[in-house]
Amino acid sequence: MPGLLLEEVSHRYDSGWAVRDLGFAVEPGEIVCLLGPSGCGKTTVLRLAAGLEPLQAGRIRIGGRIVAEGGKAQQVPPESRGVGLMFQDYALFPHLTVRENVAFGLARSDSRRATWVREVLGEMELEEYADRYPHTLSGGQQQRIALLRALAPRPRVLLLDEPFSGLDEHLRQQIRMETLRRLEGTEASTLMVTHDPEEAMFLADRIVVLHRGRLVQDAAPIEIFERPRDPFVARLFGPVNEFEGVVRSRRVATPLGPVAAGGFEDGSAVLVMVRANDVAVLEGGEESRSSVTGRVRSARTLGLQSELRLRAGGDGIAREIQVRVPGVVLPGEGSELRLAVRAGRAFVYPR
C-alpha cells in the first residue's frame, strides 16, 4: 500500500492553474523527487499533501486513508496526517535549543525521547551543540536539525521542500549524502521538491517531472536521463543543441551529421536534440563515418570541463554548436576539430 497517493489532484490560484490532474504514488521507504522549474507546481503539491492548502479537486491518501478530497469540507488537519514537513528555510523554533527543536514532535511521555535525541545528534555530529540556539549555527547544521525534527515522530510521509537550496556547493554535496543515509534507515515515504536535476538523480528512487502543473514523466532517474519523453525533459539536464529537420530515408540531416530517426515516416518534421556533453571531439586517430568539421569560435574552461563553441554544418544547415568536454581543452579560435554525436545520444521528437 502506498504511503502517499495523489489521485487526479488539481489546484487553482487566482493567477491560474498550479496543478492539473496530477496522480502518482510514493511507496514506504521510497524517495521520490518532484523536479521542475520555479512555478511548475512543485511546492503546491507538497502543501496539499501536508494539509496546508485545502484540496480543491481530486483525492489524497496517506497509508490508504483519505486525508483530503476535493469539494469535501472535512479534511484531516496537518497534525493528524502522520506527515513530517521540512521547509526550505528550515523554520526552526528560535526560542528552543537544538535538543528541544529535535524533540519537539515527540510526546513528553515517549520513553525513547531523550535516548533517541541524544543518539541522532551524535550521529549527525551535533551533540556538542545540543544546548545552543539555531541562530548560532551554520546553515548546514540548521539543515540537519530540521531534518531530524521532521523525522523524530516517525512520520508515515516525509515532505522536503528544496532542503539544500541555501547551502554552498561543497556543503550541499556533503549534506545530501548524510540526508540519504538517514532516509535510507526509515520506512517513510519521502517526497522531495527540487529544481536541481543532479540532486534528483543522486537522491531519488523515482523522479516525477512537472511542467506547468502537469506530470510530464514519472520514471527511475536513469530512464528520465537516457529516454526523456519530450524536449522539456531533455532540456532539464544541461545545455542542448537543437536542430529542426525533415526525415529522409529514416534519417535527419543536422550540422553534426545525419541522425537516425527510426519510428518517423519520411517527410516528418522533427526536432533533433543533442546534449553538449554528447558531442565528441575526435582525436587524431579516431574515426567516425558521420563526423563533421567544426571551426572554433570560443573556448572557456569551467574547471572540471571545458565549453567550446564551434561553427559546423554545410550550406543551409550551418549552426553554432555547443560542446562540453572533460578537463581543460582550449583550442585556439579559428582552429578546426572533428566532431561526432556519441552513439545513440541524439533525441528526435515530432516538431
If asked whether residues 222 and 259 sit together in one domain, one would say: no
If asked whether residues 313 and 265 sit together in one domain, one would say: yes
| Contacts of 229-235 spanning 24+ positions with Cβ under 8 A | 230/349, 231/271, 231/273, 231/347, 231/349, 233/209, 234/273, 234/275, 234/347, 235/273
Q: Which of 235, 250, 275 finishes a domain?
A: 235
If asked whether residues 131 and 34 sit together in one domain, one would say: yes
Residue 285 is predicted with a pLDDT of 60
Q: Which three cell numbers stand for residue 67?
A: 486525508
Residue 279 is predicted with a pLDDT of 96
Chain segment 311-347, per-residue pLDDT in tens: 998 878 889 999 999 999 999 999 999 999 998 899 9
Q: Which of 214, 235, 256 finishes a domain?
A: 235
pTM of the model as a whole: 0.90
If asked whether residues 183 and 89 sit together in one domain, one would say: yes
If asked whether residues 190 and 266 sit together in one domain, one would say: no
- State the total domains in the chain: 2
Chain segment 177-235, per-residue pLDDT in tens: 888 888 887 899 999 999 999 999 999 999 999 999 999 999 999 999 999 999 999 99
Nearest residue to 128 (alpha-carbon basis) of 116, 118, 139: 118
Residue 87 is predicted with a pLDDT of 83
Q: Are 339 and 312 in contact (CB under 8 A)?
A: yes
If asked whether residues 171 and 120 sit together in one domain, one would say: yes
CATH number, domain with residue 259: 2.40.50.100
Q: Which three cell numbers stand for residue 88?
A: 526550505
Residue 269 is predicted with a pLDDT of 97
Residue 89 is predicted with a pLDDT of 78
Domain of residue 277 covers 240-350
If asked whether residues 166 and 269 sit together in one domain, one would say: no
Residue 111 is predicted with a pLDDT of 66
Q: Are 294 and 312 in contact (CB under 8 A)?
A: yes
If asked whether residues 135 and 177 sit together in one domain, one would say: yes
CATH number, domain with residue 177: 3.40.50.300
Task: Report how far residue 335's alpha carbon sits from residue 342's, in angstroms, rounded to the nearest whole number.
Answer: 22
If asked whether residues 97 and 63 sit together in one domain, one would say: yes
Which residues does the chain have with pLDDT short of 70? 109-111, 285-289
If asked whether residues 273 and 169 sit together in one domain, one would say: no
If asked whether residues 151 and 177 sit together in one domain, one would say: yes
Q: Which of 200, 235, 270 finishes a domain?
A: 235
If asked whether residues 218 and 261 sit together in one domain, one would say: no
